[in-house]
Amino acid sequence: MSLERVVVNASPLIVLFKSGQAELLPKLFREILVPQTVWQEVTIPQDDTVSRQLPDATWATAVEVSINSEIAAWDLGAGESAVLSYGMQNSGYRTIIDDAAARRCARTLGIATLGTGGVLVLAKRRGLIDSLGDRLTRLQDAGLWLSESVIAMLKQQAGE
């Protein structure tokens, strides 16, 4: 599957904005969709810089999404359900999602996913960043939990 079009969940957007790395998204992907429920989840608080950054991101496009009944049965959050439903209904899109239950759902239903750490691996492979180490630390400082084994796997995938 081509990796040009993505649909993004709230937590990857939030940690990428908080860590100052959201600019990688439009460099990596031709089309970046954000389900309306995710857009609201990120922007409604309006009390932090992240909530103000997404509306200014000209590369992000909000979309309405109908929740697929198979995904609704997993009882995930509204954002996760919307992202996975879009990915299921539009096979040309990769879903960027970190939630463990949502990733299990995606694997079960055959929906292609990419985690936030995977976004950095892709950026390294495409020559947009020099090293993963500091970038992963910035994600962790922004609130993304990554186990040591996941960090080691991501570094291996990036050739570090």
CATH code, domain carrying 95 = 3.40.50.1010
* Residue 30 domain flag: yes
> 134 in a domain, yes or no?
no
The answer for 6, left when phi > 0, alpha when psi is -120 to 50, beta otherwise, is beta
- pLDDT tens digits, 88-101: 999 899 999 999 99
Q: Which domain holds residue 24?
A: 5-116
Total domains in the chain come to 1
Task: Label residue 46 by pLDDT band (50, 70, 90).
Answer: low
More confident residue, 80 or 159: 80
Helix then strand count (H, E) for the chain reads 10, 5
At 91 the pLDDT is 87
Q: What is the pLDDT of residues 48-68, one digit of tens each?
A: 778 888 989 999 999 999 999
